[in-house]
């Protein structure tokens, strides 16, 4: 079986439950064919590069799957049949480095770590007492 990375953009008006339903549908398709879903990354709502069906935003989801090559056509067909999915793309994973968290997820983790470090190392602001802050105007 080969490993594939599939990214799809859902309608931004969908609720979390509806997004999870689409993820479960794809998970069921893969597992019923004997495949494995290695990871699911929810990138959240992002602005589209250009409007799709009069929508300016979309909810991005990435899945890393391992499945037979014949299943990719079925997944593509299901994407096209589902009106709630605005765009999709599935590519074969060529290198093991693609199995790591995506750059989008890495940047989010780095931002969280940097914010935590900044708040931990930040000292309270210097506050001058009223007598220190006043200047003698003689």
pLDDT of amino acid 95: 75
Is residue 99 in some structural domain?
no
Which tokens belong to 85?
A: 């999915």
Is residue 73 in some structural domain?
yes
Is residue 123 in some structural domain?
no
Pick left, alpha or beta for residue 95 (phi over 0 → left; psi -120 to 50 → alpha; otherwise beta).
beta
Is residue 113 in some structural domain?
no
The number of folded domains in the chain is 1
Residue that has been written with the tokens 């953009």 in this structure: 9
- pLDDT tens digits for 48-72? 999 999 999 999 999 999 999 999 9
- pLDDT tens digits for 6-45? 999 999 999 999 999 999 999 999 999 999 999 999 999 9
Residue 4, strand partner residues: 65, 92
- pLDDT tens digits for 93-119? 887 665 666 777 666 666 666 666 666
Is residue 69 in some structural domain?
yes
User: Of 1 and 8, which is predicted with more confidence?
Assistant: 8
**CATH code assigned at 19:** 3.30.70.60
Domain of residue 18, residue span: 2-94
Is residue 120 in some structural domain?
no
Is residue 133 in some structural domain?
no
Task: Measure the CA angle with vertex 34, ends 95 and 80; round to 5°.
Answer: 75
């Amino acid at each position: 079986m080969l490993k594939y990375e599939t990214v799809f953009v859902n309608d931004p008006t969908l609720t979390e439950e509806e997004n999870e339903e689409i993820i479960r549908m794809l998970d069921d398709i893969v597992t019923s064919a004997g495949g494995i879903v290695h990871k699911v990354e929810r990138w959240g709502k992002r602005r589209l590069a250009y409007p799709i069906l009069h929508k300016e935003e979309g909810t991005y989801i990435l899945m890393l799957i391992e499945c037979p090559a014949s299943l990719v056509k079925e997944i593509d067909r299901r994407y096209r049949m589902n009106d709630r999915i605005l765009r999709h793309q599935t590519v074969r994973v060529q290198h093991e480095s693609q199995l790591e968290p995506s750059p989008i997820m890495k940047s989010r983790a780095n931002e969280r770590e940097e914010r935590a470090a900044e708040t931990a190392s930040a000292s309270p602001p210097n506050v001058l007492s009223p007598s220190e802050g006043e200047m003698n105007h003689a």
